[in-house]
Amino acid sequence: MADQTKTNAMRVLDAKKVPYRAAHYGDADAFHSAEEVAALIGLPSAQVFKTLVVLSAKGNSKPILAIVPGDQELDLKALASAAKEKKLRMASYAEAESLTGLQVGGISALALLNKRWKTFLDESATQWPEIAVSAGQRGINLIVQVKGLVKVCGARIAHISRQQAG
């Protein structure tokens, strides 16, 4: 892979000697849901994880990153309990992009390590030897071993997802 296609997330994994495979899909300018990404890269949507930015309802703490499977939605109450917060809310797209410097659809915990935000990975990830997560840029996912991702991100494993409504 040529250097210009390396994202910061890839560089982090390279530096920590954590193996990964890059899965390129579609138009980097187009937003794809985690379920669409799963279809494009040939994995079940339960194995393709999305990274969500969550804020304290009072706005008095650092944002939290929640990594949940594409076929589920974030359970804010479960995340609040795991994070020992009273009440949480989803960041709007504009807030998420402003806080991370990344586009929605390309937000990656691996690209945000310098922010030292709490990161939670849904426990369903542990059923897979590896999962797909954003490479920090739309159009690229990284397929990485769960234990490597947890180690590099300092992610806490917790039950933070539920079936999508509707």
Mean pLDDT of 16-20: 97
DSSP label of 91? P
Within 13 Å, how many C-alpha atoms sit on residue 23's CB side? 16
pLDDT at position 150: 97
Residue tagged 């560089």 (tokens): 11
Beta-sheet strand order (sheet of 20-24): 20-24, 140-145, 130-134
Q: How confident is the model at residue 27 (pLDDT cuts 50, 70, 90)?
A: confident
Single pTM value for the model: 0.93
Per-residue pLDDT tens digits for 42-89: 999 999 999 999 999 887 789 999 999 999 999 999 999 999 999 999
pLDDT at position 4: 54
Cα 26 to Cα 12: distance, rounded to the nearest angstrom: 24
Residue 67, classed as helix, strand or coil, is strand
Per-residue pLDDT tens digits for 108-147: 999 999 999 999 999 999 999 999 999 999 999 999 999 9
Higher pLDDT, 99 or 35: 99
Q: Is the pLDDT at 2 greater than 50, yes or no?
A: no
Q: How confident is the model at residue 166 (pLDDT cuts 50, 70, 90)?
A: low
Please check whether residue 115 is in contact with residue 65, taking contact to mean a CB–CB distance below 8 angstroms. no
DSSP label of 48? B
Fold that domain 3-163 belongs to in CATH: YbaK protein (3.90.960)
Q: Which of 68, 75, 76, 78 is nearest to 107 (CA)?
A: 68
Beta strand extents in the chain (DSSP E only): 20-24, 49-56, 64-69, 72-74, 88-90, 118-122, 130-134, 140-145, 156-158, 161-163
Torsion angles phi and psi, residue 6, rounded to 5: -80, 130
Q: Is the pLDDT at 107 greater than 60, yes or no?
A: yes
pLDDT at position 97: 96
Residue 49, classed as helix, strand or coil, is strand
pLDDT at position 114: 93
